[in-house]
Amino acid sequence: MENAAVSRAAIPDSSASGFSRRKLWNQGAKCLIWASAIFTCLLLAFIIGYIFYRGVPYLSWELLTSQSSYVKKTIGILPNLLNTLYIIVVAMAVVLPLGTGAAIYLTEYASNKKLVNLIEFAAEALTGIPSIIFGLAGMVLFSEMFGLKQGILAGGLTLVMMILPVIVRTTQESLKTVPNAYREGALAMGASKWHMVRTVVLPNAIDGIVTGCILSVGRIVGESAALLFTAGFGLVLNDFVTALESSSATLTVALYVYASERGETGVAFAIAVILMTLTLLLNFSANMAAKKLKNV
């Protein structure tokens, strides 16, 4: 009896004071949460706003379509725009077949579960390595050992090392979402394994693969540390073939050069505006692609 009485007393009854105290806590927590949400949004808005405020005045047609000249004392970032494009082409051309191929092998063919787990673990671990370390390794491996010098090729291949695990993982994840019943259905009709993968598995995983690719392009566009030693700082306009083995700064590296070595903060902010717009566009199109392809 006594116990019952005690336990009943332990639950606060709806006396005015207990009730209002809880209400106060509730309100307080709500305010705090709101405040942190608003602070986060404001911070983001401030950064974007400030970058646009500083950068947009420097954006001009001339900036985008010319190269810097010491003689004329003009600044143009066309070479850097092109270099970014070149490096995307090089890196994706290598990483896409390699990454999707590896992912298809791991999910559809490999029978040694232990090895698969090891590779998956390694891929997972690789994604956590700071990109400057990839840059260091890339410099030693590609620029020096393979003699590729500094340029788009060495830079692009370094990015391949960096992005490969990401592409493998995202592709694997999307392959795994394809129901096994589809695979069985195809095989039971006498489809060979590769035919089954090509006609049933890949079409149903394409949304994930495309999204992964677009996000990888986003990473390439935004990467700087890994490219400092590998792609180089060159600001000269080159065609694709020449750029492969000559020092070529991408937009991000150019941003660093203009901001810290040339003291052209305005130009750096203009590049930042371009980079942010590109990144936003890429993320947006990744979402769009995922939605669009899913409905087929």
Partner 1 sequence: MNTIMEVKDLNLWYGDHHALHDISVDIPQNQITALIGPSGCGKSTFLKTLNRMNDLVEGIKITGNVIYNGENIYAPKVDVTWLRKRVGMVFQKPNPFPMSIYDNIAYGPRTHGITSRVKLDDIVEKSLKDAAIWDEVKDRLNTSALGMSGGQQQRLCIARALAVEPDILLMDESTSALDPISTGKIEELAVELKKKYTVVMVTHNMQQAVRVSDYCAFFLLGDLVEFSETEQMFSVPKDRRTEDYITGRFG
**What is the H or E stretch that residue 67 is in?**
strand 67-69
Q: Check if the beta carbon of residue 290 is closer than 8 Å to that of residue 208.
A: yes
Query: Under rule CB under 8 A, which residues in 156-175 are in contact with partner 1?
Result: none
Torsion of the alpha carbons at 231, 233, 235 and 239, rounded to the nearest 10: -10
Least separation in angstroms between CB 114 and partner 1: 13
Binding segment for partner 1 among 24-32, 178-186, 252-260, 283-291 (CB under 8 A)? 178-186
238 HSE (CA, 13 A, CB side): 23
Q: Which of 81, 254, 253, 89 is nearest to 160 (CA)?
A: 89
CA dist list (Å): 137 to 118, 143, 215, 286: 22, 10, 23, 30
| Contact pattern from residue 81 through residue 120 relative to partner 1, giving x for each residue in contact according to CB under 8 A and a dash for the rest | ------------------------------x---------
Among 49, 101, 185, 263, binds partner 1 (CB under 8 A): 185
Least separation in angstroms between CB 202 and partner 1: 13
281 HSE (CA, 13 A, CB side): 9
Distance CA 138, CA 157 (A): 8
202 HSE (CA, 13 A, CB side): 12
Least separation in angstroms between CB 184 and partner 1: 6
Residue 65 engages partner 1 in binding (rule: CB under 8 A): no
Output 57 or 179, the one with its CB closest to partner 1: 179
Output 22 or 291, the one with its CB closest to partner 1: 291
Output 191 or 259, the one with its CB closest to partner 1: 191
Query: Under rule CB under 8 A, which residues in 190-219 are in contact with partner 1?
Result: 190-192, 195, 199-200, 204
Which residues would be at the binding site for partner 1 (CB under 8 A)?
111, 179, 181-182, 184-192, 195, 199-200, 204
